[in-house]
Amino acid sequence: MERISALPDPIIREAVTRALGEDIGPMDITSHHFVPSKTQAQATMLARQEGVLAGLPLAIYAFRELDPQCRIETYLHDGQLFSAGTVLLKIEGNARAILSAERTALNFVQQLSGVATLTHRFVQATAGTATQILDTRKTVPGLRLLQKYAVVCGGGKNHRMGLYDHFLIKDNHLTLLTTQELRDRIKAARQAHPEATIEIEASSLEQVKTFSSLDVDVLLLDNMDLSTLAQALQIIGGRIKTEASGNMTLDRVAQIARLGVDYISVGALTHSAPAVDISLEFQVLGLD
């Protein structure tokens, strides 16, 4: 299981360029017609509520893409906690450029900080246990790396990046195979991709008994209540890493973590995280 500890420059460039193009199109007609071209301004990115920061490098890139000469001062780094009223960033430069980049910059920081903040809450809910919080593939299409990076900023861990780097044999795959065919295909998969984790989903105790004897790295315990999970962990006896998944809430992950599972995967981290309230306060400095 990988961790995206930093966003590669090409990913930042591609994401911001696409977002600016989507927002500005041929021209920011409001700024072009109502803001003198040489006006200089200062803007302050201000947190309106507490959270965990993520996405600041994308905001910086957005401002510099439209005004390469702008001056930017940062006060926090991604992954740091902030409270309401915290100044995250200050920028001085061309007023038109700042206004044209404003929404793109805020969208990235608000949304990704939302993911990081929700992840932090889940991580805090499992504090004192060895359980790790994982993300899933339930991400906004085209923004997966950004959202998974935000999960790491919040203290979580990345599950598979996609279908290419981690075997996950789920219920729909299992309907196509007998137990012996499953064993044979796991062996072939191990030989073909020795570096990849092999994980299999179990939704019943009967499947747990069968699958715990297979050559797999992780057993995914899907949509089980606390009692069934406890029984499943007894059957497995620590021989294989375990992941619990399905309808995870803050209260539920705390209870499940105390049972001793290795991982809990939470789709809500990326598909349901509310944006953090962050604003950009604008002040005109004069003409250049």
pLDDT of 189 reads 97
pLDDT of 288 reads 59
| Catalytic-labelled residue, pool 78, 201, 243, 262 | 201
pLDDT of 2 reads 59
pTM of the model: 0.95
Q: Which residues of the chain have pLDDT under 70?
A: 1-2, 287-288
Active site residue 187: no
Q: How big is the CA angle at 260 (ends 255 and 262), to the nearest 5 degrees?
A: 110
pLDDT of 285 reads 84
| Catalytic-labelled residue, pool 71, 170, 187, 258 | 170
Q: By CB neighbour count within 10 A (0-12 exposed, 13-18 middle, 19+ buried), where does 44 fall?
A: middle
| Catalytic-labelled residue, pool 64, 121, 137, 138 | 138
Residue with tokens 């789920």: 170
Nearest to 216 by CA among 204, 202, 203: 202
Active site residue 222: yes
Active site residue 201: yes
Active site residue 190: no
CB 239 within 8 A of CB 219: no
Nearest to 265 by CA among 199, 204, 190, 193: 199
| Catalytic-labelled residue, pool 222, 241, 252, 277 | 222
| Catalytic-labelled residue, pool 64, 103, 121, 241 | 103
pLDDT of 264 reads 98
